[in-house]
Structure 1
Amino acid sequence: MKYALSCLLLAVTIQLCAQTISKDNVKQLQKAEANIKEYGKAMITENEWIDRFRADSFFTRGFVQALKITNSFYYPFDSLQTISKLYAPDSTFRIFTWQVVRDFEYNRQRGAIQMRTDDGSLKLIPLFDYSDFTKAPNDSLRDNQHWIGAIYYKILLNTFNNKKIYTLLGYDDNNARSNKKWIEILTFNTEGKPQFGGKYFQYQVDSIKPAQPAYRFNLEYKKEAKARLNYDEDTQMIIFDHLTSESNEIQNKYTLIPDGTYEAFRWSNGKWQHISKLDNQILGNGNAPLEKPLYDDNGNINQKILDEQSQKNKEKEQLPAKSSKKKP
């Protein structure tokens, strides 16, 4: 009930504030959105990776120009369905994330945080995916220049000691053998700069979970598996699949699959406290996470079309597998 009420208040706030956008600015935003819409699609559907990257470049530049229009914060950009667009529960910012794929061994997440401003001017914080350049993504606080990339599909808000703590749930295609689901922490320092990560997870380390201290939490699992990780509104818990190795090689993350039981995190005393096994395996109504990274939390993208195009890209490129992600 509390979560539903906060969502309703957010929707009303955004609707009321949207009325402050002048008609001229709305027309400008609509035109700018129309101009970059096809680039957004081309980031996914083009057959050659170089064309996908070129479309991403044109899309990014055009999107930034659109965001510079006064009060763009309240404009939904509904037709840009190949990127995730999430407002914070308190409407103080929104976060955009998407990805561009070279092949099944390399993908790069893009992102930006748009802060709400009193005068409607643009305050945009770009996020730079640093995943390829670290072997220990879980072990430190990170700024926007060293972000661990993910496509976010949920934002939660908690407070502790009068500090706002945002929890982001995200997805990463990772590589040809495995996917990742992320629980990321986002806070803002006294200067208003974002900080990713923090010591907000309490759990017993095992052969699957990240070593402690963990500043963010992730599950890595077999590419073809469908591991769930999402927030359940009824129980107010982040519920996720318990994983096991299908070949008794638990050190190889690409062999991990769900075993039919569930674990969870519940927010308590300023931390996400681990629950090792749920008595009632409830995921809530429609709260299973979306497996494709370009979906937002409302699922406003056509999975069938993207799956078909993804297969076409795979058949055309047929690039040799590599041991790790690298720059093109």
Structure 2
Amino acid sequence: MSVKPFCFTPVSEEGMTILNVSRLIKYFPVLGGVFLRRTGWVHAVDDVSFSVEKGKTFGLVGESGCGKTTLGRCIMGLYDLTGGSVAVQGQSISNLTGFQKKKLATHLQMIFQDPYESLDPRQTVQQILEEKYRIHGHDSSHLSREIRQLLSQVGLSKDSLSRYPHEFSGGQRQRIGIARAVSMHPEIIICDEPVSALDVSVQSKILNLLLELQQTLGLTYVFISHDLSVVRHMSDQIGVMYLGKIVEMADAQDIYDNARHPYTRALLSAVPVPDPDTEPRRIILTGEVPSVENPPSGCRFHTRCPHVADICRQEPPALISKGNDTRHVAACHFF
């Protein structure tokens, strides 16, 4: 029986939804005992939904361990879903065959956090960039010219082709990773903390490169980071994650001007203010982050929330809009 290929028609109009994540759930089994039987579940991502328009950037922000990277890998198809679905231009990509995933890979790519670990140290830059072309059966007659153009696009010289990853700086290695991601002319790129492993002086250059490529190539980003300043600079819409759930979601500027969830406010209070005459007003969260293996009942943030009440311990709040702006939603009983 022949395998039906994944058919993806590129979206040409901005404003159209290109990526839709619906009630996505990802649990990992916890194994224990002599026979390694399942003793529980790690609730890595729990009922997350959002959509991204063509040419826009959706930012995901939250503390380490909140499920951001797992969510990105679920969208990429690197993890099988426990529940929910991921759709690209209305077509589900959650249960594709191996051949269909290979077809999808030309339209959906990922930039990884560590620019060294994500590159094969035994391959030269030319071999790294040629690999995807060969896997997907591209014509090799113009391959050298395309790769040189690709390097120029990300700010590297053609002399880089014969060198190995360890011969480059962290920023240069990330440029190689970006070149590999855009080589197949994808529609969507998942950016998983793409500048967190880089020096501050290099971060802005990589971020500006990503913005430039988005403009010239019409890319759509899901931008994952724990740095609120970076997410604000890059994103059109932001989702704030805590313990596997999105607790607030709104347009980027609205999140910063009118944050409603106590967790979002605490994160924003930690962002340095570039004015020495302005006294920072830090919101210090007490207590430890609960275990994702045994998340608290009710609101997952109630163990650290300064506004906690009995209803917070008993009933999980819905992620709903509170006010005239239906695009700004928060999961809190009081805000």
- Greater relative contact order: 1 or 2 (C-alpha under 8 angstroms, separation 6 or more)? 2
Higher helix share: 2
Higher strand share: 1
Q: Rg larger in 1 or in 2? A: 2
Would you call these one fold, judging by a TM-score over 0.5? no
TM-score by length of 2: 0.30
